[in-house]
Amino acid sequence: MSHPASKPDTRTLTTVAHTTFFLLLGASLVRFLLRHPGEPRTPWILALSITLALLYVLGPALGAAPTTRRLLWLGLVVTTWMVLVVLAPSFAWCAVPLFFTALRTLPPRAAIVLVALLTGFVVIAQLQLAKSFDPNLLLAPPAVAALATAVFVHMERQARAQRTLIDDLIRTRRELAATERREGTLAERQRLSMEIHDTLAQNLSSQQMLLQAADRTWDTDPATARAHVRTATGIAAHGLAEARRLVHDLAPRELADGAGLAEALRSLDAGPDIEVRFHLEGTPTPLPDRVQSALLRIAQGALANVREHSGARTAALTLSFLGDQVVLDIADDGHGFTEPRTGAGTRSADRGHGLPAMRARVRQLGGTLTIESTPGEGTVLSAAIPLEPAP
């Protein structure tokens, strides 16, 4: 798993290595041309230098993974450089950025072997250029190579450990959030069960007892029976009020206090990095509470998917009143996904728990949910719910 925080550092290190390589290659070529003008090997040096530069430019296009093409490319670069060093020892210091390339491309043991081989060529080349034996030329290149390799390997291990730690933290946070949701659901179920037991169940029990008493005394004492029925009617009215209160408490808070669906949709957001725009089309008409609640929940779920999966920068909510139906469209400019499916009965595009819940809400209201997505062009989710004709 790659992390955005590590990408800028990697790009900076890669840019420095590439720049260093071309500076050393250019300096070595200029040094050779100035000190050895007009030699027969000059055309070969020019051709090999250009070839090495072109090969090095092709490297980023092959990626950093140790694929067959990448390994073949590295072999060609190293071979061309070795031939250059044999013909002109001044090109030996181009091996320094090649150390970095080898360490990034090869497994650790193979990379260390290649670095040792490159270091040996550097030592031989420097001894050839020296007029007399110099111990520094024999010891300095291996010391520099060993230090660079040790630093790089240590940084790679630290980066790998950091990536593992970040993955563990993300996984723990998701598990904690799931646990909190489950605990919240259980607590809400317990609260509702207690509310229903203490209000609706008790009222229904009282009504049953009163109606049974009225049935027993209907022929012998009609006045008492009618009193029982009137009392049961009052209890039923009280129970109806309690049921409406429970339904109101379960409604989305965005629709509380008489707020309309359009206002609730306009107030939604998908996080600080995504701009959400709302559009209203057609003439708004009063919608049943369950339709408003379902469309609001669908919009919230769709924006959660946009935030977590799409990589989008903008999302657009469009609420359209079309006379016989109301349509909610949620469109984003994210990366989309392959093999889109449309239709209310299709489940292949349901990549998580959100879309099945949306389909269930729409299906309960007799509507349809349509999803259209193209890789690189975003996703459009459309929920259409039929409306009963006005009397």
What pLDDT sits at residue 65?
Answer: 62
DSSP class per residue in 66-90: --HHHHHHHHHHHHHHHHHHHH-GG
Half-sphere exposure of residue 23, counting CA atoms within 13 Å on the CB side?
Answer: 8
Q: Is 269 left (phi over 0), alpha (psi -120 to 50) or beta?
A: beta
What pLDDT sits at residue 256?
Answer: 59
What pLDDT sits at residue 269?
Answer: 79
Residue 329 CA to residue 322 CA, distance in Å, equals 13
What SS3 state is found at 270? coil
What pLDDT sits at residue 347?
Answer: 41
Is residue 42 within 8 A of residue 118, CB to CB? The reply is no
What pLDDT sits at residue 131?
Answer: 66
Identify which of 226, 87, 83, 103 has the alpha carbon closest to the alpha carbon of residue 157.
103
> Tokens in use for 334?
């994210």
Residue 303 CA to residue 41 CA, distance in Å, equals 66
> Tokens in use for 139?
């010891």
What SS3 state is found at 63? coil
Is residue 296 within 8 A of residue 264, CB to CB? The reply is yes
DSSP class per residue in 340-388: ---STT--TT--SSHHHHHHHHHHHTT-EEEEEEETTTEEEEEEEEE-P
Identify which of 203, 189, 286, 291 has the alpha carbon closest to the alpha carbon of residue 243.
203
What pLDDT sits at residue 380?
Answer: 92
Residue 275 CA to residue 369 CA, distance in Å, equals 24
Residues of the chain with pLDDT under 50: 1-6, 339-353, 390-391
What pLDDT sits at residue 29?
Answer: 87
Name the pairing type of β-strands 275-281 and 314-321.
parallel
Name the pairing type of β-strands 325-332 and 378-386.
antiparallel
Residue 29 CA to residue 252 CA, distance in Å, equals 73
Return the number of other C-beta atoms located less than 10 Å from residue 373's C-beta: 21
Identify which of 318, 287, 321 has the alpha carbon closest to the alpha carbon of residue 382.
318
Q: Kindly state the DSSP code that residue 60 receives in the 8-state scheme.
A: G
Is residue 328 within 8 A of residue 317, CB to CB? The reply is yes
Identify which of 310, 302, 319 has the alpha carbon closest to the alpha carbon of residue 358.
302
What pLDDT sits at residue 335?
Answer: 83
Is residue 130 within 8 A of residue 138, CB to CB? The reply is no
Is residue 127 within 8 A of residue 65, CB to CB? The reply is no
What b/e string do you get for 44-66 counting C-beta neighbours within 10 Å, with b at 16 or more?
ebeebbeebeebbeebeeeeeee
